[in-house]
């Protein structure tokens, strides 16, 4: 079973991810992983950090001569920040000591206060360093491996931004796999050029006021095989696994499979995707994609659609959110930290990653195989059986 663990703090020396359960023979290079990671830094509205992070990574184990060995793949990703200033060497040192600058004006909407109460900390940095979305860099490195594993099955995963703040893209603009470069070329990773401009203006307006913005991204998965996940038990349902994975992304507050929320207001007679037999292809098809590619907790083989809603970031460039200083108990505003105006364009790439990791794990559960060849052979035999 494919599983992975990340470790590391935002301003520590590095992030680490270990991916266990990949079959042997998966071709992968540092450059491919870096390519995915660079996509995560895209997007108008990111803070200064994304301009100097360089995604310097080392494949520490599990890969030899450009192919996985079937052993755990270990990846270390430097935090460029650590190497830019000595501040972080002292502030994040693992050696015994105390900070000179504890952060005590906790931010509403961030992990600060609940984390300090839960773990008994008196400095919010003990929480925020790990709560930071910097951790998603490690996830994206793992996701690059998951996408490579899914590629020979014909699975193609991409995302696009459909809302930034109050600006929403037209519902019918949905990119195909060949449109990925165009989406990534958009300054906000929006597929609809007419909306892109309005989104940028929305970000500029928020930036001017030191404020932040949330939004919505849509992940599209083309070519997902039939039968990933299962109806037989709650924790094997594919849509449940996808929802958990998406909700685990920092600042995500909502998830939708297909047109879940819109369909809730329809009558049953107009809420489901009609099934037809495609005699030419020798396969069943759905005439629409309302269900988002899952029925009964299993993939149907149709276009998979997963949306994620991100709240506006809780760190503001001009802090105005009312809070309490946990030392004095006096009313104040939350502490100032360098931050992004919005990270919605990056959310799309992280959401792709989480979907890829779920689909890769479920594909491996279904098709097994200790080598990529065996995995692909098994998947092809299953598909041939369906025909």
Name the segment binding ligand EPS (CB under 6 A); options: 131-139, 261-269, 293-301, 302-310.
Answer: 131-139
Strand segments (E) across the chain: 3-7, 14-20, 57-61, 63-64, 67-68, 73-78, 156-164, 167-168, 215-222, 252-257, 275-278, 283-286, 294-295, 298-299, 304-310, 322-324, 331-333
Sign of the torsion angle spanned by Cα atoms 99, 105, 110, 113: positive
| 18 or 133: CB nearest ligand EPS | 133
| Contact of 323 with 108, CB cutoff 8 Å | yes
Please report how close the Cβ of residue 39 comes to ligand EPS at its closest, in angstroms. 12
Q: Phi, psi at residue 349, to the nearest 5°?
A: -70, -40
Q: Phi, psi at residue 254, to the nearest 5°?
A: -150, 150
Q: DSSP readout, 50-85? A: HHH----EEEEESEETTEE-SSPEEEEEE-HHHHH-
Please report how close the Cβ of residue 41 comes to ligand EPS at its closest, in angstroms. 7
Among the listed residues 39, 134, 189, 237, the single contact to ligand EPS using CB under 6 A: 134
User: Interface mask (CB under 6 A) for ligand EPS, residues 15-54, using x and -?
Assistant: --------------------------------x-x---x-
| 37 or 360: CB nearest ligand EPS | 37
Of 338, 290, 360, 323, give the one whose Cα is nearest residue 142: 360
Please report how close the Cβ of residue 287 comes to ligand EPS at its closest, in angstroms. 40
- Residues in contact with 387: Cβ distance below 8 Å, sequence separation at least 6, in sequence order: 282, 283
Name the segment binding ligand EPS (CB under 6 A); options: 133-141, 142-150, 304-312, 320-328.
Answer: 133-141
By CB under 6 A, residue 115 contacts ligand EPS: no
By CB under 6 A, residue 10 contacts ligand EPS: yes
**To which residue do tokens 């759905």 refer?**
286
| Contact of 137 with 350, CB cutoff 8 Å | no
CA dist 235 and 149 (Å) reads 23
Of 334, 175, 343, 144, give the one whose Cα is nearest residue 252: 343
| Window 306-365: residues binding ligand EPS (CB under 6 A) | 315, 337-340
Q: Is 230 exposed, middle or buried (0-12, 13-18, 19+ CB in 10 A)?
A: middle
- Residues in contact with 250: Cβ distance below 8 Å, sequence separation at least 6, in sequence order: 131, 132, 133, 135, 136
Please report how close the Cβ of residue 156 comes to ligand EPS at its closest, in angstroms. 24
Please report how close the Cβ of residue 308 comes to ligand EPS at its closest, in angstroms. 16
By CB under 6 A, residue 127 contacts ligand EPS: no
| 139 or 160: CB nearest ligand EPS | 139
| 105 or 294: CB nearest ligand EPS | 105
| 137 or 341: CB nearest ligand EPS | 137
Of 275, 235, 224, give the one whose Cα is nearest residue 379: 224
Residue count at the site for ligand EPS (CB under 6 A)? 15
Please report how close the Cβ of residue 137 comes to ligand EPS at its closest, in angstroms. 5
| Window 238-267: residues binding ligand EPS (CB under 6 A) | 250
Please report how close the Cβ of residue 306 comes to ligand EPS at its closest, in angstroms. 21
Name the segment binding ligand EPS (CB under 6 A); options: 96-104, 126-134, 207-215, 237-245.
Answer: 126-134
Alpha carbon distances (Å) from 52 to 78, 105, 144, 317, 360: 12, 28, 22, 19, 31
| 164 or 257: CB nearest ligand EPS | 164
Among the listed residues 99, 132, 156, 371, the single contact to ligand EPS using CB under 6 A: 132
Task: Enumerate binding residues for ligand EPS (CB under 6 A).
Answer: 10, 47, 49, 53, 81, 132-134, 137, 250, 315, 337-340
């Amino acid at each position: 079973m494919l599983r992975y663990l990340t470790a590391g703090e935002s301003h520590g020396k590095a992030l680490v991810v270990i991916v266990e359960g990949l079959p042997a023979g998966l071709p992968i290079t540092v450059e491919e992983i870096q390519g995915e990671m660079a996509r995560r830094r895209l997007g108008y509205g990111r803070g200064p950090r994304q301009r100097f992070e360089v995604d310097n990574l080392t494949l520490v184990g599990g890969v030899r001569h450009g192919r996985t060995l079937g052993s755990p793949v270990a990846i270390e990703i430097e935090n460029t920040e650590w190497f830019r200033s000595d501040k972080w060497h002292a502030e994040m040192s693992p050696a015994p000591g105390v900070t000179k600058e504890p952060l005590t004006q906790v931010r509403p909407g961030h992990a600060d206060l609940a984390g300090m109460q839960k773990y008994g900390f008196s400095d919010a940095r003990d929480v925020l360093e790990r709560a930071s979305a910097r951790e998603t860099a490690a996830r994206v490195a793992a996701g690059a491996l998951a996408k490579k594993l899914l590629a020979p099955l014909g699975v193609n995963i991409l995302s696009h931004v459909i809302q930034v703040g109050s600006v929403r893209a037209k519902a019918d603009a949905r990119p195909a796999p060949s449109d990925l470069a165009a989406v990534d070329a958009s300054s906000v990773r929006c597929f609809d050029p007419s909306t892109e401009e309005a989104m940028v203006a929305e970000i500029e307006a928020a930036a001017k006021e030191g404020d932040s913005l949330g939004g919505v991204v849509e992940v599209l998965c083309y070519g997902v095989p039939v039968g990933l996940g299962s109806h037989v038990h709650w924790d094997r349902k594919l849509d449940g696994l996808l929802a958990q994975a998406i909700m685990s992304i920092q600042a995500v507050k909502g998830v939708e499979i297909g047109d879940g929320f819109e369909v809730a207001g329809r009558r049953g007679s107009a809420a489901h995707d009609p099934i037809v037999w495609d005699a030419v292809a020798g396969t069943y098809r759905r005439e629409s994609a309302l269900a988002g590619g899952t029925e009964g907790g299993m993939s149907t083989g149709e276009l998979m659609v997963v949306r994620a809603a991100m709240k506006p970031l809780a760190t503001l460039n001009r802090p105005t959110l009312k809070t309490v200083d946990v030392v004095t108990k006096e009313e104040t505003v939350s502490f100032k930290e360098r931050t992004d105006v919005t990270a919605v364009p990056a959310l799309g790439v992280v959401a792709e990653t989480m979907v890829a990791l779920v689909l890769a794990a479920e594909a491996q559960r279904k098709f097994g195989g200790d080598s990529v060849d065996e995995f692909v052979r098994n998947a092809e035999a299953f598909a041939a059986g369906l025909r």
